[in-house]
Structures are given as structure tokens and as C-alpha cells.
Amino acid sequence: MKIAMVTPYNVKCGIFTYSRDLYTALAEHGVETYISRFPRFGNKSPALLENIARKIPKDADLIHVQHEYGLFSGFEGVFYEALRQTKKPIVTTMHAIGNFNADKVTSMGSDKIIVHNDFCQRKYSGESTIIPHGCKTIETMPIEQAKKIMGIPSKLPIVGYVGFITPHKGIDDIILAMEPIEKAGVVIGGGWHQGPDTEYMQSLKELGNQRLQNRIQWTGFVEENRLSTVYGCMDLLVVASRFATESGALLTAMAYGKPIIARDLPPFKEKGLNVFENVPQLSAMIDEALNDPEMLAKMGMCSTLYARTNSWDKIALKHIKLYKTTTSKRQ
């Protein structure tokens, strides 16, 4: 089977990372993937999107679109109309939901829609199939070794976050929650998709340096060869996103087997994580976990179990089953 996958490629982007992990796993099962590169940044136009559709290989059995609203800039109608001209089956993975007009276009333009969880399926306006976001299972660097590399005292508990940094990620809440926990430090790993710090990131650093003097470290964007070290130094990880349909950053942390506290959002609650509603509660939960090694161990085991249950190999097999069902209906 050969599929054409429409996706950003080789950029700092969660959707590219997702696509790469998926097509790598598909290849292990004999599925050939042609990348129809979709620009992650820059201005979009109808002509640009039509050109991407025209370049779909004629020998592709199926088109798989990795969709996110920001990628399409409202041009879903133009793009899906061009894709339909290929006469090939179309599968679309919705990496976010909630834009009724765009959702209607993707639903009408696709043979099958994939969403990542129950929450997304309930909120999506059309019919959909749940295939969870895949996870790797990764060996984390021993915590003492990682802390030494990071220049952190071995006995200092570390609470952290790794991922792209935007206002809705709630990093400010992590900082405020950690202020009264003077025995612990904070590591924030991540940056923006392009270029240096944004104005928002500068304001976050000012807040962190003011509230957590000499207790916070900012790593900037973390390249993949450093992830094991950055995750490895953390005793506990917090995902404080104010809204989410899914979180690649959260799932990567689970893949590393990290204990996690997450905001009380439906996609996070579905994973059986410990969740918080506000800053005082988060602060209390962090303090309790750091004082209970057995609790931390159980939280880490929860992450590892989820990652193994939703390994990329298993997720690839779910995709192949859906691809075969979709293509057979066209024959």
C-alpha cells in the first residue's frame, strides 16, 4: 500500500513530529508513504493549496491529511475540492476540533475522519473514528546523571515542563504554584517554533526570575538528542495547558515514564492522570507528590503503561486497518 501524507515536513512542529513517527511505524508494516509537503509557516493562498493537491502521486492508494486549523488559514474548502479531483480516498486526522465551518468542510471532503480521544469525538460535528495519538517508550537518563549534566544539585527536587511555549500553556501557573515550595527547583524546556524568544516568553522569564530567584532554569528549544537529559532531570512534570484537544508534549512525557500532574481538562482526565483546577490546588499536589516517593513511582508507572498501550506500532496497525477499509469501499 502507498499513501500520500499531507503534512508539514522537517520543521519545529508537533504535527510534523506526529507524522514522522506515524510514517516510520507504518513503514515497519510495509506501507510506503509519500510526503506531500504542506507549509507550516508563511502566507497561504488558494493557488498554493491547489498545487499541493495536483502533486499527489498518481500511484497513491489513499491520501491522508494531517489537519490543524492554523495550517490551512481558512482555505479548507479550496484544498479539499482540489483533493477530490484526484478521485482517491481521503482520510483526515483532526489535530484540533472546534471550528464548526472548517469541521464541516473536512467531514464532507473526507471518506474517514480520525480524532484522538473521546472528547474530540464528542465535539467534532461529523462522524469520526478514534485512533489515539501514538507514544514511544523511551529509556530516560538516570536522574542523578541528568541533574549533573544540567548543573543541578542531585538532592534538589525538580518540577518541570517541556514543549512549545505559548500563553495558553499555563507556564505562569506552574511558576506561581512553585513559589511557596522553596525546597524544589523548576526547569522549563522549550521555545517558539521560529526564531528567538517572543515577548511573551520574555515576560515569563521575568516572572520566573522574580518569584523563583535562583530556582528556575530555562533551556530554550530542546533538540531531540537532549530530550532524555532534560526529561531525566525532572522528578515531576506539570502540564498546565488552559485548553487542549490533545498534547504531544504530555504524551512525550508519558513516553519517558514521568510522573505527571495535568490541568483538569477532558483529554487529560481520560488518561487517568492526577489533575488540578487552580494554582493553590496545583501547589498542594506538587508538594504532596514530592514528599511521597511511592506516589511518584505510581504516577510514573501510569505514564509508562499508557505509552506501552498506545505504542506507535499499535497505532500504525489501527491506521492500516482503517486505510484498508476505506480503500475497499471505493473498489
Q: What is the pLDDT of residues 207-237, one digit of tens each?
A: 999 999 999 999 988 888 899 999 999 999 9
pLDDT band for position 13 (cuts 50, 70, 90)? confident
Q: What is the pLDDT of residue 11?
A: 83
Report pLDDT digits (tens) over 254-270: 999 999 999 999 999 99
Q: What angle do CA 236, 203, 237 make, to 5 degrees?
A: 5
Whether the Cβ atoms of residue 29 and residue 323 lie closer than 8 Å to each other: no
Judged by phi (left if over 0) then psi (alpha if -120 to 50, else beta), residue 26 lies in alpha
143-309 fold: Rossmann fold (3.40.50)
Domain 2-134+311-330, what fold?
Answer: Rossmann fold (3.40.50)
Looking at 232-277, which runs of residues are DSSP E strands? 236-239, 260-263, 274-276
At 29 the three-state DSSP class reads coil
Distance CA 99, CA 106 (A): 11
Task: Give CATH 3.40.50.2000 domain extents, the chain.
Answer: 2-134+311-330, 143-309
Average pLDDT over residues 265-291: 97
In whole angstroms, give the CA distance from residue 46 to residue 75: 7
What is d(CA 53, CA 80) in angstroms, rounded to the nearest whole number?
8
Let me know: does 65 contact 91? Beta carbons within 8 Å. Answer: yes
CA dist 187 and 168 (Å) reads 18
pLDDT interval class at 193 (50, 70, 90): low
C-alpha radius of gyration, the chain, whole number: 21
pLDDT at 200: 85
Closest CA to 251 of 14, 24, 65: 14
Tell how strand 62-67 and strand 2-7 pair up: parallel
CA-CA distances (angstroms) from residue 223 to 54, 152, 220?
34, 20, 9
Using the predicted structure, report yes or no on whether residue 330 has a pLDDT greater than 80: no
* Predicted model pTM: 0.89
**C-alpha span between 69 and 44 (Å, rounded):** 12
Instruction: Supply the DSSP symbol for 167.
Output: G
- Number of neighbouring beta carbons within 10 Å of residue 208: 23
Place of cell 512549545: 164
Average pLDDT over residues 159-187: 95
Residue 29: how many CB atoms within 10 A of its CB?
12
Grouping H, G, I as helix, E, B as strand and the rest as coil, residue 195 is coil
